[in-house]
Chains A and B, each alone.
Chain A
Amino acid sequence: MTSSEPPVVDFPLRRPGEAFPPPRYQDYRGREGLVVSYLPNGNKAWLVTRHEDVRAVLTSRKISSNPDHPGFPNISDTMGVPRQEQIPGWFVGLDSPEHDRFRKALIPEFTVRRVREMRPAIERTVEMRIDAMLAAGDRADLVADFALPVPSLVISSLLGVPPADREFFESRTRTLVAIRASTDQQRDTATKELLRYINRLVAIKVQWPGDDLISRLLATGTLDAQELPGVLILLLIAGHETTANNIALGVMTLLQNPQWIGDDRAVEESLRFHSVADLVSLRVAIEDVEISGQLVRAGEGIIPLVAAANHDTSAFACPHLFDPARAERQHVAFGYGVHQCLGQNLVRVEMEIAYRKLFERIPSLRLAVPVEELPFKYDGVLCGLHELPVSWQES
């Protein structure tokens, strides 16, 4: 056990103008034990940066995902994991066995086979967005015009949102994500409208069940009507900006490394390389626990930084290189343990189709601004791009 005082490091971890993952992660990984940081709300959080330690934290029974525990390291009042009393059914904030009832009810919707069956519909969605971009001229913002709408349309079709309402659904989810372009008030309104819409959709499916996720969940009878809207909002939020950021960052990286365009392994490497969900897995110790020799007391927050783990040189050779041919596959971009991303196979298919179709249909695709001028998100939970201006040669 280390006896010296653990180093205290500043929060936020990402800063404007810096590369991601932040260069100082390497310094944190190299130290004995853990480093500690204080969040804007004063909460203490141990930062876990080594690949091995991140996997250990995410599978420890002494460590909880439940924000009801005092000391839970929510980043701020609006960023982090909501409590069950705020949004019942937000099961990423529950531990086993409560968590497992939700997870088990949803797993059949996200199996490798089920996701494969969604392929044709995803391809159509992607094609339609590309058609719209091409029809509008020779330039676009790939974030607003492609990366954000594609996952939103995919989720709305999965949930059984009727085609006529998808435009509404997409515009409201876009407001939620646009932390720069929308006000708190607009986001609050959009959230309420979405919740109201989802409540109505559930009521409709109770009356007239269809061939969709909501109807099937209702039929299993394992989730009650109060929990269902929270589960659906979780799917929407967990699967929207995460996927969008990965699509946009992946396209940026492929444009910089064109030798990998057309290689499907770029999907997995993009997940590791960009690790957009760096501040997503938040935890709190519920018993004293030792991590890498550091004693963490019950009631202290723990943040496993997946981007740091995915760039750990003891787990990945030359982690700073974008190398889709690399042999190591054990990245934790989707987390690890019982909460490991439920939507991961859907994401893989979406990303693969998005990359392939974009470069197939628009071979002359290029960045419209120098890479250094791209606006990176450094102030939110997720890593990503606010905008990705691209252009192409009109044929």
Chain B
Amino acid sequence: MHVTVAADRCVGAGQCVLNAPEVFDQGDDGLVTVLRERPAPEEAAAVRLAGTLCPSRSITIHQD
């Protein structure tokens, strides 16, 4: 699995940081950044949760 984000769509609600803090962060502007593009297997569930909760659909999860 790997994740990409569209920071231009992000509305800074922080659901991703709250649920998968090892994978997502908010920069100084409050918009999403990716800390780990290839999350560890044990982080996969949290990343998926972040993906479904993101209100602006800024997170895309790719199965590779």
Contact = CB atoms under 8 A, between A and B. Distances in A.
**A, B assembled together:** yes
Interface of A: 58-59, 103-104, 107-113, 329-330, 334-338, 340-342, 344-345, 348
A112 B14 contact: yes
A107 to B, nearest CB: 3
B49 interface: yes
B53 A112 contact: no
A103 B55 contact: no
Contacts of A104: 12, 29-30
Nearest to A58: B55
Interface residues of B, number: 19
A341 B55 CA distance: 10
A110 B53 contact: no
B11 A112 contact: no
Nearest to A268: B18
Nearest to B56: A338
A373 B30 CA distance: 44
Contacts, number: 59
Given A108-B29, A112-B26, A338-B56, A344 B14 contact: yes
Contact of B12 (A111, A334, A335, A337): A111
A340 B30 contact: no
B2 interface: no
A57 B60 CA distance: 21
Contacts of A341: 13
B57 interface: yes
Contact of B49 (A107, A329, A338): A329
Contact of A107 (B19, B21, B31, B52): B31
B28 interface: yes
A330 B17 CA distance: 15
A340 B52 CA distance: 14
Contacts of B31: 107
9 contacts: A58-B55, A104-B29, A110-B30, A111-B12, A111-B30, A112-B14, A330-B53, A342-B13, A345-B14
A338 B58 CA distance: 11
B18 A345 contact: yes
Nearest to B8: A100
Given A58-B55, A108-B28, A111-B12, 20 more contacts: A59-B55, A103-B11, A103-B12, A104-B30, A107-B12, A107-B29, A107-B31, A109-B30, A110-B12, A110-B14, A111-B30, A112-B21, A113-B26, A330-B53, A337-B56, A338-B55, A338-B56, A340-B55, A342-B12, A344-B14
Nearest to A332: B55
